[in-house]
Structure 1
């Protein structure tokens, strides 16, 4: 009985931030639409304008938030998992023998891994007993390795990674626009209530609090959204910004950067009509990623490739590095 109670308590705690944010959004809808637009705004034209602009913001905000919460995280394909006997043997081997065993397993199974540990071995998760695909990491909260993991976000009770990063960035962007719109349009009535120019006591409380909440969240979202825009432009995850991924040639914080435009395309896709719609359009399968150092020692043309990519042209050779989506189940996204 005790373990079941503990599990229920843990689940409740994990969902508390999501419930809190959802409650704030529901209340803000009531405060803005009912208390401000219908009971405070006197001009019909102004009321209609506010309502027409308000609803697209909250719909896109809620949509992207829901997609971030409920989209399953990208999980490591079965081919990366070691057989139980091999995993048990690996734990008894020396560090050098472990390296050789992992390299042999990756080679025999044709695993597309470029990232390494500090000793040059493929990265291995002792909890999942699998070789980690490039850019994947183990999440202690989710209890599994997550493809292209960025971080675990308690505000969405989900991991932000390959399958959810686009939705997360859109959630931040639309939340910021929503807060700014509410703050700007309620400022006039905030001043009136604050100076005692309007006598609606209930509306006064809601509008005053609505303005404060919108400004508070907008301030925090500006820095967070700006930071993830920077990461998108650099093609880095939050984890990679703190610890550079290691390749065979050594650590390289820009190893996955293909130029600002191509970095954006990798997350938001090539269909411009879908850039601002919370549907999955990211390139690749979350397992294989093109790198700017892919042909460092083969033909001496890396400098030209990097220059082309910075100018926004998608190099065909690097484009092939995304894989064939054989690891990705689009029906679950």
Structure 2
């Protein structure tokens, strides 16, 4: 009985530990927002009505958009719409376990053909990618996340700050979150520097301490989010590649069955593939990506996209 209780308590403890980074980030965000809204806009600018209203409108718009994106990234289901035809029954799975790796791949190849499943990616041993934990063939660009305990379509990485995986369902929202967060913190940092340079006097009191702390956290956000936005998101979006794919390509763990193929369709098509073709949806945290996250457009050596 004790062992059973201990076994049941482990997932709860793990979930609590995984939530710590996101809770700390939320506290820091709320503190920074408090210093901006109360200490700066309401207290510091109380006699400058026009500037106060302007800063409140711009700052709150950016903060609301960032919050909306953050909530969408955090609450989006990691195992978004993986079709049932990719999943094996318990009987089929147990039968598969008793076979050698080449024989397993042969069985999976037949299984995929019978269910009309198209797969372009293979393991380093040229075998079909199969998840033993989820009992399913992995769709192209899908990976198993041990933290979320599920397979994630077009998985980029597991983000501890949102306590969720970044993948097909929320990649656009994650990029927008970084963009709005960077703009909000950059705006706060610039107006605070400009205000005190113009004022020329900094009083050593609690109010100023709050503002300096808010400035420091805002500056930290600008540097951290800006670097992540450029290196981890925009650059990968431009190449239509995920962080996991970059790592696995360098390690030669996963490759195309036909080496002439690529998911890189060119900068414009890569952007539209992620953000969708309706420009009205580009700036809101809504999954407007083209396709279903299971099959993707590919590009042969000749510059022609082939939909699979």
* TM-score (normalizing by structure 1): 0.84
Greater Cα shift, 270-279 or 112-121: 112-121
1:84 matched residue in structure 2: 90
Contact 2:120 2:258 in 1 (8 A): no
Which of 245, 253, 256 is residue 263 of structure 2 equivalent to?
A: 256
Contact 2:186 2:218 in 1 (8 A): yes
Contact 1:37 1:51 in 2 (8 A): yes
Summarize deviations over 1:147-185 as a string: whole Å, max 9, x none: 111111110011101101111111111111111011111
Contact 2:196 2:202 in 1 (8 A): no
CA RMSD of aligned residues (A): 1.9
1:326 matched residue in structure 2: none
2:144 matched residue in structure 1: 138
- Relative to structure 1, the CA distance from residue 5 to residue 267 in structure 2 (aligned partners, 3 Å threshold; closer, same or farther) is same
1:303 matched residue in structure 2: 302
1:47 matched residue in structure 2: 52
In 1, distance between residues paired with 2:103 and 2:219?
57
Query: 4+ runs of 1 displaced by more than 6 Å?
Result: none
1:324 matched residue in structure 2: none
2:285 matched residue in structure 1: 278
For structure 2, the residue ranges without an aligned partner over 5 or more in a row are none
- Relative to structure 1, the CA distance from residue 8 to residue 248 in structure 2 (aligned partners, 3 Å threshold; closer, same or farther) is closer
1:20 matched residue in structure 2: 24
1:215 matched residue in structure 2: 219
> Is 2:279 the partner of 1:292?
no
Shift in Å, 1:96 = 1.9
In 2, distance between residues paired with 1:100 and 1:187?
65
In 2, distance between residues paired with 1:259 and 1:29?
39
In 2, distance between residues paired with 1:8 and 1:90?
32
In 2, distance between residues paired with 1:160 and 1:262?
20
In 2, distance between residues paired with 1:174 and 1:59?
9
Which of structures 1 and 2 has the larger relative contact order (alpha carbons within 8 angstroms, sep 6+)? 2
Secondary structure at the counterpart of residue 163 of structure 1: coil
In 1, distance between residues paired with 2:196 and 2:86?
57
Shift in Å, 1:246 = 1.3
Shift in Å, 1:200 = 7.1
In 2, distance between residues paired with 1:48 and 1:85?
66
5 Å-filtered alignment, 1:113-132, equals 113-132=119-138
Secondary structure at the counterpart of residue 165 of structure 2: strand
Shift in Å, 1:8 = 2.8
Which of 205, 211, 219 is residue 209 of structure 2 equivalent to?
A: 205
- Relative to structure 1, the CA distance from residue 304 to residue 141 in structure 2 (aligned partners, 3 Å threshold; closer, same or farther) is closer
- Relative to structure 1, the CA distance from residue 94 to residue 198 in structure 2 (aligned partners, 3 Å threshold; closer, same or farther) is closer
Secondary structure at the counterpart of residue 116 of structure 1: strand
Contact 1:133 1:287 in 2 (8 A): yes
In 2, distance between residues paired with 1:213 and 1:274?
30
Contact 2:189 2:218 in 1 (8 A): yes
Q: How many residues align?
A: 297
For structure 1, the residue ranges without an aligned partner over 5 or more in a row are 294-301, 306-314, 322-333
Contact 1:150 1:159 in 2 (8 A): yes
Shift in Å, 1:76 = 2.6
Contact 2:272 2:290 in 1 (8 A): yes
In 1, distance between residues paired with 2:172 and 2:64?
17
Shift in Å, 1:57 = 0.4
2:238 matched residue in structure 1: 233
